[in-house]
């Protein structure tokens, strides 16, 4: 089975721009979660989607949003980018029946200049 | 609210020596606990998990961890370190009784260096 894929792997944007990151979960997995990883704040939960519905959201401003499509692929969007949004964005997928087997993708490295 | 504390942001061991990475958690309910490993420029890989069954959990690559409720700890060990174990290790907790069971709260990570 193919693992979780994230595109693009690297991205450079300018302050004020917006960005969309994509995540394709493992085939058959319907839950997708997003995390932000920075040297200062560590790994922080952004949101979780299941069957196209956002189930949980972390403590991030409204500039961070996401969605999930009927094929379980997910996107996250960050509008009005700030320097502090520079981070590794990780996506994880899990099967419906499992509450704890989450499989992470390699991440998208976003740099905001 | 849940939290995880990893004692020691950097740990160095000699090849063949015991690896011990410390993790203490805070949770108002019986938690699920996890250890993940992250190699440079990669995502997180699940090493092992505790989900309220056996308190001694064995994972991949020879790692194991013991859940000690009285000490609120979930330390990660490996009897003999290998050079390939050099990576960053994260302890994480989730609340299986809530609607956000898949929401992981991570510790700040421990960078493991293995010396030849």
pLDDT at position A99? 61
Of A45, A104, A107, which is closest to B103 when you measure between CB atoms?
A: A45
pLDDT at position B102? 81
Secondary structure (H, E, C), B26-63: ECCCCCEEEEEEECCCCCEEEEEEECCCCCEEECHHHC
Measured in angstroms, the CA of B106 and the nearest CA of chain A are apart by 6
B63 and B48 Cβ atoms separated by less than 8 Å: yes
Interface test with B, best of A5, A36, A100 (most B CBs within 10 A): A100
| Distance separating alpha carbons of residues B64 and B85, to the nearest angstrom | 13
A53 and A74 Cβ atoms separated by less than 8 Å: no
**Residues B77-115: tens digit of each pLDDT:** 999 999 999 999 999 998 777 767 788 999 999 999 999
Handedness of CA B65, B51, A3, A90 (dihedral sign): negative
Q: Residue-wise pLDDT tens for chain A (113 aa)? A: 679 999 999 999 999 999 999 999 999 999 999 999 999 999 999 999 998 999 889 999 999 999 999 999 999 999 999 999 999 999 999 987 566 788 999 999 999 99
Nearest to A25 by CA among A73, A58, A60: A73
Measured in angstroms, the CA of A96 and the nearest CA of chain B are apart by 11
Would you call the peptide bond into A8 cis, given omega within 30 degrees of 0 as the criterion? yes
Measured in angstroms, the CA of A90 and the nearest CA of chain B are apart by 7
| Distance separating alpha carbons of residues B110 and B8, to the nearest angstrom | 6
**Residues B22-77: tens digit of each pLDDT:** 999 998 778 889 999 999 888 999 999 998 778 899 999 999 999 999 999 999 99
Do you know the residue count of chain B?
A: 116
pLDDT at position A97? 58
Quick one: closest CA in B to A32, which residue?
B102
pLDDT at position A98? 63
**Residues B24-38: tens digit of each pLDDT:** 999 877 888 999 999
Residue whose token pair is 């510790």: B107
Quick one: closest CA in B to A91, which residue?
B43
């Amino acid at each position: 089975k193919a693992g979780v894929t994230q595109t693009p792997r690297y991205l450079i944007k300018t302050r004020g721009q917006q960005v969309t990151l994509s995540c394709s979960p493992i085939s058959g997995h319907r839950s997708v979660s997003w995390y932000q990883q920075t040297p200062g704040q560590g790994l922080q939960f952004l949101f979780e989607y299941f069957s196209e519905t956002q189930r949980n959201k972390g403590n991030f401003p409204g500039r961070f949003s996401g969605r999930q499509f009927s094929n379980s692929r997910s996107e996250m969007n960050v509008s009005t980018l700030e320097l502090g949004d520079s981070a590794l964005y990780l996506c994880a997928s899990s099967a419906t029946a499992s509450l704890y087997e989450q499989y992470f993708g390699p991440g998208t490295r976003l740099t905001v200049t | 609210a849940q939290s995880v504390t990893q004692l020691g942001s950097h740990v160095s061991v000699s090849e063949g020596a015991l690896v011990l990475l410390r993790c203490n958690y805070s949770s108002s309910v019986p938690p699920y606990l996890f250890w993940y490993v992250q190699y440079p420029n990669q995502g997180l890989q699940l090493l092992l998990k505790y989900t309220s069954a056996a308190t001694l959990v064995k994972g991949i690559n020879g790692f194991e961890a013991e859940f000690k409720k009285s000490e609120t700890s979930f330390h990660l060990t490996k009897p003999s370190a290998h050079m390939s174990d050099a990576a960053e290790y994260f302890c994480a907790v989730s609340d299986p009784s809530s609607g956000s069971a898949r929401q992981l709260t991570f510790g700040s990570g421990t960078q493991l260096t293995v010396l030849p």
